[in-house]
Amino acid sequence: MKPAAFNYAKPTSVGEALGLLAKHDGDAKVLAGGQSLIPTLNMRLSTPSLLIDINGIGDLSGISVMGGEVRIGALTRHVEIENSSKIAKHVPLLALAMPSIAHPAIRNRGTIGGSIAMADPAAELPACLCALDSEIEITGPAGVRGVAAKDFFKSLYETDAGENEILTAIKIPKIAKGYRSAFDELARRHGDYAMCGVVAHGKCDGDIISDFRLVFFAVGGTPVIATDAMDAMEGMAVNDESIIAAQKALDNDLETFSDLHCSATLRMHYAKVLTKRVLTSLVKP
Amino acid sequence: MSNKIEQVQLDVDVNGEKISRMIEPRLSLVDFLRNELELTGSHVGCEHGVCGACTVLVDGVIVRGCLMLAIQTNGAEVMTIEGQSDSGAITDLQEAFHERNALQCGFCTPGMLLTSTELLQKKSDPSREEIREYLSGNYCRCTGYEAIVDAVEAVAAVRRDV
């Protein structure tokens, strides 16, 4: 299982990388951490003629807090986010999700931008960004533009980023006072792609939840925002009754599928189990 | 599509030795180490990042040798199981694996040793659960993991007492 031959370029600026993308119009791929891209090359699911290694572009990496938001450079590696005190303080959901993203050796290389740009439906980060009203910063020939995370993931492995654009940063609002986050997933082996996963975020006043977000991953082609379940919980106290109502709403929100790892029915069951777990965790004193 | 492939210059430090080669860009790090440098301690298992048999250190941290191109280590320091073993830094861990039958066929062992080493650098007193979680990306098809966890736990305890 070896990749088809390609040429290799390592630009030192975003401008230079964009120039190479434009020149090879659709036939080049951007290499960030490579932890999702290289498997697809090894399996020859993708056969670009040029690989543009952006690891030499220094200003694409790093975590900074500016005003009400946290800006994470696209090339920031998972391990940096996992160990960041700024992330733990201002975006606790990411800190909760990080240990479940693959394995230590992969988190040492993988980047947030790469994970988002790949848009794997079983990946944790796209769901986190959708739950947190994040913005994806994309740089292209026409300049820099921002896209809301919920509009970025179009369908299976398909995003709003054009072939000649590069994802350059992620902007996430700092967690507001009184808000809490929860994360859970079920996988056959810790760190593997989940059979079902969910993130929850909202304002918690005692056991009453408002401005509630519930976003699933690994249950469809993109992160799935469970709007009916969110409506069912809005302004409600978390108790057996409201949890059952939210679980019931998932029958409308999710169209689960069967694969090698579990059936559609089991996947729906997992979604309901996980919903109970994250709701309980969200309001835990 | 016809596409003329240009070889690229790789200058890398492998186990303390400076290496310079012209290579194909598509050459993975683990294939470079095994086929060009004959460092066959790093194993090629799944070639898509699942099994952990190809684990090596790049600039001091563990990575998948199959998910990094050799050319991406240009200017970097690579350490393989051969380098770690010769340095004597993991002799206690190797002995503990041996004593406790934490290996049978040995295919996963280089990856297990390098991954456990990183864990013990980060945490001197890991719980059994933390050991399992850190090693979750390394498959072993012989031991059932119990003996591996025992060995890592035992070495952590001895190192703390030293």
Q: Are residues B60 and B121 in the same domain?
A: no
Is the pLDDT score of A275 beyond 50? Answer: yes
Cβ neighbourhood burial of A174 (10 Å; 0-12, 13-18, 19+): middle
Choosing among 3.30.1330.20, 2.60.120.560, 1.20.140.10, 3.30.390.50, the CATH entry for A179-282 is 3.30.390.50
User: Do A191 and B136 lie within an 8 Å CB cutoff?
Assistant: yes
Task: For B68, name the nearest residue in chain A, comparing CA atoms only.
Answer: A34
Query: For the packed helices B146-161 and B91-99, what is the interaxial angle rounded to 10 degrees?
Result: 140
Give the pLDDT score at B1: 47
User: Do A190 and B132 lie within an 8 Å CB cutoff?
Assistant: yes
Cβ contacts of A47 within 8 Å, gap of 6 or more: A3, A4, A6, A41
Give, in order, the Cα–Cα distances in Å from A258 to each of A124, A218, A222, A266.
19, 11, 16, 9
Residue type at A217 in one-letter notation: F
- Taking the Cβ of residue A79 and every Cβ of chain B, the question of whether any pair is shorter than 8 Å is answered with yes
Is the pLDDT score of B116 beyond 50? Answer: yes
The C-alpha atoms of residue A132 and residue B142 are separated, in whole angstroms, by: 43
Cβ contacts of A76 within 8 Å, gap of 6 or more: A61, A62, A63, A111, A112, A113
Task: For A188, name the nearest residue in chain B, comparing CA atoms only.
Answer: B136
pLDDT in tens, A26-72: 999 999 999 999 999 999 999 999 999 999 998 999 999 999 999 99
Which of A133, A135, A153 has the alpha carbon at shortest distance from A144? A135
- What single string gives the DSSP state of each residue in B38-55? --TTS--SSSSSSS-TTE
Beta partners for residue A224, in sequence order = A216
pLDDT in tens, A85-139: 999 999 999 999 999 999 999 999 999 999 999 999 999 999 999 999 999 999 9
The C-alpha atoms of residue A166 and residue B135 are separated, in whole angstroms, by: 34
The C-alpha atoms of residue A101 and residue A127 are separated, in whole angstroms, by: 12
Give the pLDDT score at B2: 53
Is the pLDDT score of B3 beyond 80? Answer: no
Task: State the best of B67, B79, B152 to mutate against chain A, taking most chain A CBs within 10 Å.
Answer: B67
Cβ contacts of A3 within 8 Å, gap of 6 or more: A38, A41, A42, A44, A47, B26
Residue B141, domain extent: 88-161
**In chain A, domain spans:** 7-56, 58-173, 179-282
pLDDT in tens, A159-206: 999 999 999 999 999 999 999 999 999 999 999 999 999 999 999 999
Is the pLDDT score of B78 beyond 50? Answer: yes
Q: Smallest CA–CA separation between B1 and chain A, in Å?
A: 8
Q: Give me the residue label for tokens 């490579």.
A: A34
Q: Smallest CA–CA separation between B162 and chain A, in Å?
A: 27
The C-alpha atoms of residue A114 and residue A34 are separated, in whole angstroms, by: 7
Task: State the best of A79, A106, A260 to mutate against chain B, taking most chain B CBs within 10 Å.
Answer: A106
Q: B20: domain CATH number?
A: 3.10.20.30
Is the pLDDT score of B144 beyond 90? Answer: yes
CATH annotation of A58-173? 3.30.465.10
Its CATH architecture, for the domain A7-56, is 2-Layer Sandwich (3.30)
User: Do A190 and B8 lie within an 8 Å CB cutoff?
Assistant: no
Q: Which of B66, B69, B137 sits opposite A104 (nearest CB)?
A: B137
Q: Smallest CA–CA separation between B143 and chain A, in Å?
A: 16
pLDDT in tens, B24-62: 999 999 999 999 999 999 999 999 999 999 999 999 999
Cβ contacts of A61 within 8 Å, gap of 6 or more: A73, A74, A75, A76, A77, A80
Which of A95, A140, A125 has the alpha carbon at shortest distance from A33? A125
